[in-house]
């Protein structure tokens, strides 16, 4: 059983930055594939970024490459999403997701993950 807690959301002006954190209930979070998804009101939940356990490789939605960076700190047992150059269209609830290392499911799909946090609100004003 894995419990995930996101933090770091808030209100920021366009062009600003935020760093989201995801803290798990396990001490070996580095053995899990992790990802960030986001969902705007009335919209489908969409993939933002992922980092794999196997290699530490990172993956991003095309529209977010160059602005968002996913990383993990095993010493702190935490996964981060650094968000720069934020735009109003980035406004959404951001969710941390995780799964025990799994090579059979897509890392870009919500169905590929078993554990979810409660979400943290990010609001970007114009």
Residues 76-119 pLDDT 10s? 889 999 999 999 999 999 999 999 877 788 989 999 999 999 99
Please give the Cα distance from 46 to 37 (Å, whole number): 5
Cα 49 to Cα 1, 26, 27, 81, 126: the distances in Å are 23, 21, 22, 8, 24
Residue closest to 91 by CA, chosen among 125, 118, 68 = 125
8 Å CB contact between 117 and 4:
yes
pLDDT at 39: 98
In the predicted model, is pLDDT for residue 29 greater than 90?
no
End-to-end CA distance of the chain: 40
8 Å CB contact between 119 and 8:
no
Please give the Cα distance from 72 to 81 (Å, whole number): 9
8 Å CB contact between 22 and 74:
no
pLDDT at 71: 95
Confidence of residue 52 (pLDDT cuts 50, 70, 90): confident
Please give the Cα distance from 125 to 90 (Å, whole number): 10
Confidence of residue 31 (pLDDT cuts 50, 70, 90): confident
């Amino acid at each position: 059983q894995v419990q995930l807690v996101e933090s770091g959301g808030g209100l920021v002006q366009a062009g600003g930055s935020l760093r989201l954190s995801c803290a798990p209930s396990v001490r070996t979070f580095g053995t899990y594939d992790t990802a960030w998804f986001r969902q705007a009101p009335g919209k489908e939940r969409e993939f933002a970024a992922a980092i794999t356990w196997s290699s530490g490789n990172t993956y991003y939605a095309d529209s977010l490459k160059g602005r968002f960076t996913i990383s993990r700190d095993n010493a702190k047992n935490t996964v981060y999403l650094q968000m720069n150059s934020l735009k109003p269209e980035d406004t959404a609830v951001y969710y941390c997701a995780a799964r025990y290392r799994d090579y059979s499911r897509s890392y870009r799909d919500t169905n590929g993950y078993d554990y979810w946090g409660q979400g943290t609100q990010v609001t970007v004003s114009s």
